[in-house]
């Protein structure tokens, strides 16, 4: 509640409204006024607003996690915007509502979730890769987003199973994940001609599509980690050919990874970092990988501040 204090001939003072009344009483002239809010209170209010936005953003991000990938910084900004809209709505419902009433908090939270959901729906629309038929991909040829491999396990020159062929598959997938995503099709030569998966099937104890997919997922899990492997879509599809029956090919769909993906070719081997460079897959050195990661997945404000603090603590301890 604001108390109005009427004064005559006195300059405006902080913390109260100053009202000047003419001598004849015929006119009221409201002069300048100012709220005397301490600096510490303003700082505390800003921190509280940020914490509330962080809480609302985290709740919204968790609720929408299956529909779109949202970073926490974006959620905080959208939560502040949604909270402002919610406060306007709450004030329109009841002008006498208090800021911390249950209805105000509920309306503000719902408004934040709706705001972030709208953004998430738009983001999901652009994040979701359109499903293109394999035949169309083969006709278009290889690119920075599409790669063909003749086999996943068999060396075409020797006709024997070769572990190096398996690592080529893992390297290509990791490169797609570390870049803008892409599609790897196994069982197709460089010209886009379907060869089928019979050679790879022959290396399995049970030569069928299910066992091949199981082996492939095990390979990706071992080489790239469970989280990265789970983000790769694997599908066996039949492709029509001119000179015979349809031939099965394996389609691996890789969405851009939200974090760096490192390849390990063995238990004791050092991690490798691969990216797409045009139509090819390229390994980066340690320095190149560090620079790429910093630009591709920049730290948020909180994580960056925490990293700087830890570095300062380590430096002071070492000294």
pLDDT at residue 15 in the model? 46
Amino acid 53: pLDDT: 79
Q: Let me know if 162 is exposed, middle or buried by CB neighbors in 10 A (0-12, 13-18, 19+).
A: middle
Tokens representing residue 292 in the block? 């790429």
Q: State the pairing for strand pair 280-284/273-277.
A: antiparallel
- CATH 3.30.950.30 positions along the chain are 134-293
> Percent of the chain, pLDDT > 90?
43
- CA distances in angstroms from 115 to 56, 74, 122, listed in the order given: 11, 11, 11
Q: Which residue has the higher pLDDT, 66 or 168?
A: 168
* Res 69: pLDDT: 66
> How much is the average pLDDT of 6-19?
47
Distance CA 94, CA 105 (A): 13
Contact 71, 84 (CB under 8 A): no
Residue 216 has pLDDT above 50, yes or no: yes
Bigger pLDDT: 316 vs 158? 158
Q: Which tens digit of pLDDT belongs to each residue from 92-126?
A: 887 777 777 788 778 888 888 888 888 877 776 66
The residue assigned the tokens 């997938």 is 173
Q: Beta partners for 17? A: 4
Question: Residue 242 in 3-state DSSP?
Answer: coil
Pick the CATH number of 134-293 from 3.90.650.10, 3.30.950.30, 2.40.50.140, 1.10.569.10: 3.30.950.30
**Overall average pLDDT of the 185-210 stretch:** 93
Nearest in space to 220 (alpha carbons), one of 178, 155, 264: 264
**Among candidate residues 132, 92, 82, the one with its CA nearest the CA of residue 112:** 82
Distance CA 117, CA 5 (A): 47
| Stronger pLDDT, 209 or 301, i.e. the higher one | 209
What value does the mean pLDDT take over residues 77-93?
83
Give the closest residue to 139 by CA, choosing from 192, 187, 88. Answer: 192
Within 8 A by CB and 6+ apart from 258, the residues are 69, 297
Region for residue 167 given its phi and psi (left: phi exceeds 0; alpha: psi -120 to 50; beta: otherwise): alpha
311 vs 277, which has greater pLDDT?
A: 277
- Is the pLDDT at 27 greater than 50? The verdict is no
- Who has greater pLDDT, 9 or 82? 82
Distance CA 87, CA 93 (A): 10
> pTM for the whole thing?
0.61
172 Cβ contact list (under 8 Å, min separation 6): 147, 149, 184, 274, 281
pLDDT > 70: percent of the chain: 77
Residue with tokens 């082996």: 215
Task: Give the model's pLDDT for residue 96.
Answer: 77
| C-alpha count within 13 angstroms, C-beta hemisphere, residue 210 | 1
Q: State pLDDT tens for residues 262-273.
A: 999 888 889 999
């Amino acid at each position: 509640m604001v108390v109005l204090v009427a004064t005559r001939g006195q300059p405006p003072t902080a913390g109260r409204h100053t009202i000047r009344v003419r001598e004849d009483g015929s006119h009221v002239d409201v002069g300048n006024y100012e709220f005397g809010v301490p600096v510490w209170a303003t700082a505390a209010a800003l921190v509280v607003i940020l914490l509330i936005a962080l809480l609302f953003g985290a709740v919204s991000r968790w609720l929408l996690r299956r529909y779109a990938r949202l970073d926490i910084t974006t959620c905080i900004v959208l939560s502040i915007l949604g909270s402002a809209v919610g406060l306007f709505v709450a004030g329109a419902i009841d002008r006498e509502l208090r800021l911390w009433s249950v209805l105000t908090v509920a309306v503000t939270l719902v408004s934040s979730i709706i705001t972030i959901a709208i953004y998430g729906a738009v983001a999901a629309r652009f994040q979701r890769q359109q499903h293109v038929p394999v035949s169309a991909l083969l006709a278009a040829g290889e690119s920075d987003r599409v790669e063909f491999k003749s086999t996943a396990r068999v060396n075409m020159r020797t006709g024997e199973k070769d572990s190096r062929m398996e690592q080529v598959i893992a390297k290509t997938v990791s490169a797609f994940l570390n870049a803008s995503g892409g599609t790897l099709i196994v069982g197709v030569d460089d010209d886009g001609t379907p060869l089928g998966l019979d050679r790879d099937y022959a290396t399995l104890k049970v030569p069928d599509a299910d066992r091949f997919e199981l082996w492939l997922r095990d390979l990706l899990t071992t080489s790239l980690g469970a989280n990265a492997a789970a983000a790769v879509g694997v599908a066996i599809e039949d492709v029509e050919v001119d000179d015979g029956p349809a031939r099965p090919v394996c389609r691996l769909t890789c969405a851009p990874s939200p974090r760096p993906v490192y390849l390990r070719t063995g238990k004791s081997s050092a991690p490798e970092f691969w990216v797409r460079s045009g139509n090819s897959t390229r390994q980066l050195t340690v320095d190149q990988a560090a620079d790429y990661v910093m630009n591709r997945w920049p730290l948020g404000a909180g994580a960056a501040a925490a990293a700087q603090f830890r570095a300062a603590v380590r430096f002071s301890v070492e000294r």
